[in-house]
A and B are shown apart, each in its own frame.
Chain A
Amino acid sequence: MHPSPRRLVLALALLLGLSPALFAADVQVFAAASLTDVLQAIAKDYEAKSGDHIRFNFAGSNVLARQIEQGAPAAIFISADEAQMKNVAKAGLVDAATQRDLLANTLVIIAPNDSTLANFQPVDFTKPEIKRIALADPRTVPAGVYSKAYLEKLGLWSKVEAKVIPTANVRAALAAVESGNAETGMVYKTDASMSKSAKVIFSVPQADGPKIVYPIALLKTSTGDDAAKKFLAYLESPAAGAVFVHYGFLTEK
């Protein structure tokens, strides 16, 4: 028995009505914790324009790399250092043609807003009144790795290592300083500029500091994913670039 013409038209209309939802795609993005606010802002604009939905997983890049290696369903990976991107590439999961350096950042030393520290220089870390330095875990998290590299370069690391409070990611280091539980900390300039309860007491000049870059890449599992490729392209566009700069990042070209 054939369905009546009326029924057919109704079904078609329903299908067409649902089509934006049917055709809207989900793009899974794994990104370093320090990109939380800026990427969420960019994604909001993008979702309004494209109708696609961006899902984020923010964590320390080392955790994300580990998760991707274990098979987590990410389409795009933005790491806070080259080392973690290399790890994922070594596992054969990166679409090498799509990899490039997206952003750059600099390090700053921070203290709680009510701190009385003035004219702070990195060597002041060795002073006895500084008991705690909050860093993202210098063994594994890029922000911490960079901070340690900088302090080693200045010959200070061995003297201050005992004062280091390693945290799970750079945002946790920021929180430790904001709460006053650590007198000082080192985070990215972009994290510090977001904070209302912590202030910058020293900015590491970009020339002195380690080269902090954020590589971005499409993961091989999503090579055929048009929505993912579209978002990747958007992130590299001037529109997104303006937002990155607004949040204090440096864009690479």
Chain B
Amino acid sequence: MTAFLELRGVSVRLGRFELEVDAALSEGWTALFGPSGAGKTTLLEIITGLRRPDAGRIVMKDRVLVDAAEKISVPPHRRKIGYVPQDLALFPHLDVRANLVYGSPVAKAEDESEFQHVVERLEIVQLLDKKPDALSGGEKQRVALARALLARPELLLLDEPLSALDAPLKERIIPFLQRVRDEFRVPTLYVTHAADEVVALCERAIVLRAGRIVADGPVSDLFVLRESPGYRLR
């Protein structure tokens, strides 16, 4: 396993809460699993560059993104790390098409076909001229995901994408996400507190609790099927 993203001694203190992590992400989908308040969103903010850690080093594919000791911090707009926050944050003043192309590089012939590809795969072709406030919850999800993918990130961070959805909708979307995972092959850090999502979508998992990593490894090692529907942590 080659480390795609390395976090060494990354720590931050927010009031009484302290986050401290050492981890290495491989390519593929990794879950960031833990209860609310564990520090998952904070860790995402640090990885994207929206928050500075007090100490530590973050390296992605030989590129130093953060080195607190050397006072290095690459600004978010240069990290090539896509981020879909929990509230999606679609640009309300732009239509879907303008939202989608916001982060993508200058339009060229192949970009146009890539645009078509992503739009078809995420089944949002019919939404292109609509404004975000005219979309349903699931449609907004897909648009936000497509927007992040079109920016060609090297790493994708998804913050609890399915937490706002009810069980039936979740069941329909999970296979969809699996297809996206297999087709676009972007290394992804998938944040969730739902064990079934971890098992369905990710090969590895990092378990975060109260600001510390308590487990880190293959999902099959960490999660076990329990009697009532669902998975639980070993």
A and B touch in the complex (CB under 8 A): no
